[in-house]
Amino acid sequence: MFYTKIAKIISALLFFIGISRVLMGVFVLTSENPKLQAAKYLGRHTSGEAIDKGLFYIFIAVSLGVLVEISVTLHNASKKDSKTENSK
């Protein structure tokens, strides 16, 4: 369960980083001077690249989150099975 807890934390962090990158990309895209704002807030990246990378992070976070949920479900099922075997 140690790795499951770490994966859950990493998944949440990736999700929030992804959302912040998408929001920052949209913020820069809707500003008065997108090129200047992109250089200021995104470094070498354009707003499109920031949005793309943010969506990629969100996809990875959701995929990792699904794997964590599967791990928790399997762990709980195995605990339940071992309890029923011990009671017989």
CA distance 48 to 29: 8
Q: How far apart are CA 75 and CA 78, in angstroms?
A: 5
Domain ranges of the chain: 7-81
Q: What tens-digit pLDDT sequence spans the chain (88 residues)?
A: 889 999 999 999 999 999 999 999 999 999 898 888 888 888 888 899 999 999 999 999 999 999 999 999 998 888 887 777 666 6
The CA angle 61-38-12, to the nearest 5 degrees, is 15
Q: Classify residue 11 by burial, with Cβ atoms within 10 Å: 0-12, 13-18, 19+.
A: buried
* pTM for this predicted structure: 0.84
**Other CB atoms closer than 10 Å to residue 76's CB: what's the count?**
10
